[in-house]
Amino acid sequence: MKPGITLATIVRNEARCLERCLSSLSGLATDVVLVDTGSTDGTQEIGRANGARIIEIEWPNAFDAARNVALDAVETEWTLWLDADEWLVEGAVDAIKRAILNDLAFGFTLIRRDLLPDGAHGEQSLFRLWRTHPEVRFAGVIHEHLPDEALMAAYPGQKLMNTDIPFWHDGFRQEVSEAKLRRNLPLLEREVELRPGQYYYRIELANTLVKLGDPRGQILLDELADELVSLQHLDEPPSNTLDQFLASYLTGLPDVELRSRRADVLILLCKGWFPRSPWALSVAAQTEIRRGNLHGALSTLQDLERLAASGKYDRSTTVHPMLLGEALYTNLALVAHQLGRVDLARLNYERLLKLDPQNPLARENLATLRR
């Protein structure tokens, strides 16, 4: 293997953003491998103008297969994965150069900053940089990933290191189109059939069906909820991706089911299985508020407050900053106010005013506390 880092990724009609991605790698990437699956908008020309090697293939109807073509072409010691709609922030190049000097590491997580439709951004820790190895291969017909088992086998004695090196992503700025959902559906169905039992793909399949208006989607979600209820005796979740499902399912729970046994258990699983997930704790608290259990909501919100203060929360899924800021303070203030916890309510109304001195809810309610 040659020294250096190769960006290895797949592209198709990425003229909008490819230049931004590649220029952010200036001074870092020794090589760039772009596997093109059928661009017609000048993507290849932009790639070549930025020194990329272009490998043209027919779309194999599987994202893992396409990405593995890119991995096969890597000739350097390190492989970097960024998609065309992602780009490194200023200073990341030097930080990555320093990171790869660590002989104990086989790879590194980076922090993806997801630009969101409301103008804010969430953050998520993702594995994107690793020592090139022939056994490290993508799996997943769609929503492809690098399996943990393969990584452990390829790098005995070395560790995955977490970093706070950020990069931007603007692919979530718009809702997923119906055309993309319909493209994804058969791929998800095939992945579930090929490798059954994967919670992540079962959830993605169900959610895609729901978004397409197919009643099978809600049936699958309800079945999964009942399955998790039956697993409540487990100390650890059967999959670390289930916090997203629990939060989403509870958010969509109809009012008539708020006091059901299913709701009781799912709230407990949010808090017991995912005590470091801001999303899971926030939704558990919101559900308790909807149920009228203000004492339970306050306890969960205070757990979330402590988690935010520590900074040691789970970043494996995108965390919206409001969950640990404005939304948290608003819920704490309102719940404490209703429970007669005046000092706690005042503290959180004042926190809201520090964020926005014109916040009408905080100004009006704080005034009532001062009378």
Provide the residue-wise pLDDT of the chain in tens; the chain has 371 residues. 899 999 999 999 999 999 999 999 999 999 999 999 999 999 999 999 999 999 999 999 999 999 999 999 999 999 999 999 999 999 999 999 999 999 999 999 999 999 988 888 899 999 999 999 999 999 999 999 999 999 999 999 999 999 999 999 998 887 888 999 999 999 999 999 999 989 999 999 999 999 999 999 999 999 999 999 999 999 999 999 899 999 999 999 999 999 999 999 999 999 999 999 999 999 999 999 999 999 999 999 999 999 999 999 999 888 888 899 999 999 999 999 999 999 999 999 999 999 999 999 999 998 888 76
Which of 62, 199, 78 shows the shortest CA–CA distance to 128? 78
Q: Is the dihedral of CA 6, 8, 12, 14 positive or negative?
A: negative
Q: What is the pTM of this model?
A: 0.89
Look up residue 20 and give its two tokens.
């931004």
Could you tell me if 348 and 336 are in contact, meaning their C-beta atoms sit under 8 angstroms apart? yes
- pLDDT digits 0-9 by tens, 228-244: 999 999 999 999 989 99
Q: Is 97 helix (H, G, I), strand (E, B) or coil?
A: helix
* Distance in angstroms (rounded) separating the CA atoms of residues 78 and 168: 21
Q: For residue 286, give the amino acid letter.
A: Q
CB atoms inside a 10 Å sphere around CB 312 = 10
Q: List the Cα angle 170/176/181 in 5-degree steps.
A: 140
* Distance in angstroms (rounded) separating the CA atoms of residues 19 and 47: 8
End-to-end CA distance of the chain: 73
Dihedrals φ, ψ of 119, to 5°? 95, -15
Q: What is the dihedral of CA 321, 306, 313, 25, to 10 degrees?
A: 50
